[in-house]
Homo-oligomer: A and B are copies of this chain.
């Protein structure tokens, strides 16, 4: 519980209208996009400036009140569930694009900017911000940075961390640090920028970011290749890369996902094949034309039963929009949708998809798989029902097996969704006890009182897939 005198302090900092404390308001911020994890915050605050964030941190530190920074809550690892209560920080007022610098190809933003708004703003100037998480219509840049979000264009263009050049952040001790800058090269000390990216609000509160932009590709083409078996699809992926082409997007959807997506989007996707690859290339017209032709030939040689290049930009857009809607489509099937992002080296995609299907069979659960085939980042997804405890136990066991298998194949427990609460029990599987010890040492150094987003990244529990809070 937060005392009345502390609440008075907070109200003085952010103003009455930016402090929310009713049961209804707290309930809104008791969960995020992660199924089955919920906990009420004591208070919700919406600071208007970095200085207000500093003042909030100082007030919280005195009373050891947890602080959970939150964008739109679209993360899938319970990264923003206030599991230890305390204060949820909203960035709805710190949502401005501060500068687009065309000479240095950078954009400087506050954390509350919506990803898609940023992308559109820079595209209007002929520039390009590539990271495109499926949630980009609602996600914030601050959330993307805290989770190091990926997206469909990760294969060719990398993920959020590849575009973060500098940060302003408030430390647990109330001090402000500024890392990096508009600098293509900077080796002044340890790379705090990249330490903060993906640290899920557990090391500092990000209040401003300078992001790298690149020239907008002048053209793009999209194609769909259909397969009667998964191996042929996986072979196409390998052969495209082996032919030294890096497509902008190289997405995989299995038959059950395809069916769900078509039912949802009704754009005439085929639903009678085992798998499809959605492939996009961008760049200069000549390169796109040449690559698309070569990739289509490779898909056909590898056993695609059909390869179709989108005839118009609208048709292409419909295909990628349908793909982005995969989670929404699958979420309609059952009350609860567990979506994971086990990731393997690209060469192991076929093995991983087969392993997922065997694991689903073994535990008698339905798992639909789609994801970023080009970068080995798969999204095995289980439509289930959290009220069915017996089935949930099997789902949990299946996902534990999937993480285990991903690691056996040289992969990781999470490619782009983050650790948060739901992957914390598995983190040691990937990084080892020595790795956990190093990470905890860093956490302790930066946040000795454990006030920044406690209960995330690290956990006492192991091998427990689902956490249901009271």
Contacts and interface: CB of A to CB of B under 8 A. Distances in A.
A214 interface: yes
A376 B150 contact: no
Interface in A232-279: 238, 241-242, 244-246
A453 interface: no
Contact of A419 (B184, B188, B345): B188
A429 to B, nearest CB: 9
A412 B104 CA distance: 15
A245 B283 CA distance: 12
A191 B198 contact: yes
Instruction: Report the copy number of this chain in the oligomer.
Output: 2
Contact of A345 (B148, B183, B437, B438): B183
A390 to B, nearest CB: 30
Contact of A214 (B246, B410, B418): B246
Interface stretch (A17-25, A109-117, A170-178, A393-401): A170-178
A425 to B, nearest CB: 12
Contacts of A147: 187
A381 interface: no
A465 interface: no
A434 interface: yes
B189 A197 contact: no
A431 B177 CA distance: 7
Interface string A98-114: 00011111100000000
Chain A contact residues (Cβ within 8 angstroms of B): what range?
Answer: 35 or more
Contacts of A127: 244
A104 B189 CA distance: 31
Nearest to A174: B434
A345 B182 contact: yes
Interface string A335-378: 00000000111110000000000000000000000001011110
A-B interface, 8 closest residue pairs, ranked by CB to CB distance from nearest: A441-B445, A215-B244, A184-B375, A185-B415, A194-B194, A103-B347, A175-B434, A182-B345
29 contacts: A103-B345, A104-B345, A105-B241, A106-B345, A148-B191, A150-B185, A171-B434, A175-B437, A182-B346, A184-B377, A184-B415, A185-B343, A185-B416, A186-B343, A186-B415, A187-B198, A187-B412, A187-B414, A187-B415, A187-B418, A188-B414, A189-B435, A190-B195, A190-B198, A284-B284, A286-B286, A441-B445, A442-B445, A444-B445
